[in-house]
Amino acid sequence: MTSQRIALVTGANRGIGKEVALQLARDHGLKVLVGSRDLAKGKRAAQEIGYGADALQLDVSDPVSVAEAFAQIMAVHGRLDILVNNAGVDYDTDQQAHRADLNRVRRAFDTNLFGPWDTTITAVPLLRRGEDARIVNVSSGSGALSDMSAGTAGYGISKAALNALTIKTAAELKPYGILVNAVCPGWVATDMGGGGRPVPDGAKGVVWAATLPATGPTGGFFRDGRAIDW
Active site residues: 155
Burial 187-225 (b: 16+ CB within 10 A, else e): ebbbebbeeeeebeebbbbbbbbbbbeeeeebbbbbbee
Restricted to residues 104-123, the positions that interact with ligand NAP (CB under 6 A) are 111, 115
DSSP conformation letters of 19-42 = HHHHHHHHHH--EEEEEESSHHHH
Q: Which of 5, 6, 7, 10 is the binder for ligand NAP (CB under 6 A)? A: 10
> Which range, of 100-108, 169-177, 189-197, 218-226, touches ligand NAP by CB under 6 A?
189-197
Contact, 184 vs 221, CB < 8 A?
yes
Establish if 177 lies at the interface with ligand NAP (CB under 6 A).
Answer: no
Is position 153 an interface residue for ligand NAP (rule: CB under 6 A)? no
CB of 88 to ligand NAP, least distance (A): 2
Say whether residue 37 binds ligand NAP (CB under 6 A).
yes
CA angle 76, 77, 78 (to 5 degrees): 105
Taking each helix axis as running N to C, give the angle between helix 115-127 and helix 153-173, from 0 to 180 degrees, rounded to the nearest 10: 20
**Identified binder of ligand NAP from the candidate list 5, 7, 9, 13, rule CB under 6 A:** 13
Distance CA 112, CA 187 (A): 17
Nearer to ligand NAP, 58 or 127 (CB): 58
Q: Distance of alpha carbon 72 from its chain centroid, rounded? A: 19
Q: Of 22, 30, 46, 59, which lies in the binding site for ligand NAP, with binding defined by CB under 6 A?
A: 59
Q: Binding to ligand NAP by residue 32, rule CB under 6 A?
A: no
- Assess 27 for contact with ligand NAP (CB under 6 A): no
Q: Residues 6 or more apart from 99 whose CB is under 8 A from it?
A: none
Q: How many residues sit in the footprint of ligand NAP (CB under 6 A)?
A: 31
SS3 180: strand
Does 86 engage in binding with ligand NAP (CB under 6 A)? Answer: yes
Tell me which residues touch ligand NAP (CB under 6 A).
10-11, 13-17, 37-38, 41, 58-61, 86-89, 111, 115, 138, 140, 184-185, 187-188, 190-193, 196
